[in-house]
Amino acid sequence: MQKKRGGHKAEGINKPLRTFRTADLKVEEYREEIARGAAVSTYVILRTDAWVNVVALTTDKHLVLVRQHRYGAGATTTELPAGSVQQQEPESQAAARELREETGFAGDEPELLGYYFPNPALQDNRCSAWLIQNARRTAAPCPDIGEELEVLTVPLRDVLDGTFSDINNGLSLTALFLFQVRRPRVSTG
């Protein structure tokens, strides 16, 4: 199993000065001397689990999306189904689980599109993008507590040609970029 959390120790990093924990996040503050004592830098590292984003396509080539309120942005976003990878869970299973929980859709086995770092200046985790083809509604959505989701499907061609331009989550846009450049040949319908 591939390492899902950054957690690596860079050269010159000492023990954290301060640590703050929540259920999903650990914040560590560090102080580091740079260039043999010439400067001192203070920075933080946010440690969290790996994330998945799912590019789910229906049999009629519609992209499955969710709309939800995001507290950090203070706005409603339109994005791909996504979420955290649970401890000891393979990322492919996390992708299928998040699609099912957030939308009620299921489909073919997830295909890896690629990995990326959400915010490498501050965070130690990575995000993976997955393609699930032949997605279809198999159950009612079962979102996490505190999540209120609206599920929508949009023709893939409208997303790719810019006709539908409501997707405003950077991680979703990165996953769609990976889909564009690394996908198996998928007709846009």
| Cα–Cα distance, 49 to 127 (Å, whole number) | 9
DSSP bridge pairs for 50: none
In DSSP notation, 116-179 reads E-S-TTTB-B-EEEEEEEEEEE-S---PPTT--EEEEEEEHHHHHTTSS-----HHHHHHHHHH
> What's the pTM value of the predicted model, to 2 decimals?
0.85
| pLDDT (tens digit per residue) in 166-181 | 999 999 999 999 999 9
pLDDT tens digits for range 93-140: 999 999 999 999 999 999 999 999 999 999 999 999 999 999 999 999
Averaged pLDDT, 19-32: 88
What pLDDT band is residue 148 in, cutting at 50, 70 and 90?
Answer: confident
- Computed over every residue of the chain, the mean pLDDT equals 89
CB–CB of 101/64 below 8 Å? Answer: no
